[in-house]
Amino acid sequence: RLKRGSVCVASMDSVTKSRWNWFVDSLRMDEPCEFGEGDIGMPGAIQMTELAGANVTTVEMIRRFGGSTWPSAPWPEDEQGVN
Per-residue pLDDT tens listing for the chain (83 residues): 678 888 888 998 999 999 999 999 999 899 888 777 777 778 888 877 778 788 777 777 777 777 777 888 877 777 665 55
Region of residue 32 (phi > 0: left; psi between -120 and 50: alpha; otherwise: beta): beta
Query: Under a CB-based contact definition with an 8 Å cutoff, are residues 32 and 40 in contact?
Result: yes
Query: Under a CB-based contact definition with an 8 Å cutoff, are residues 62 and 39 in contact?
Result: yes
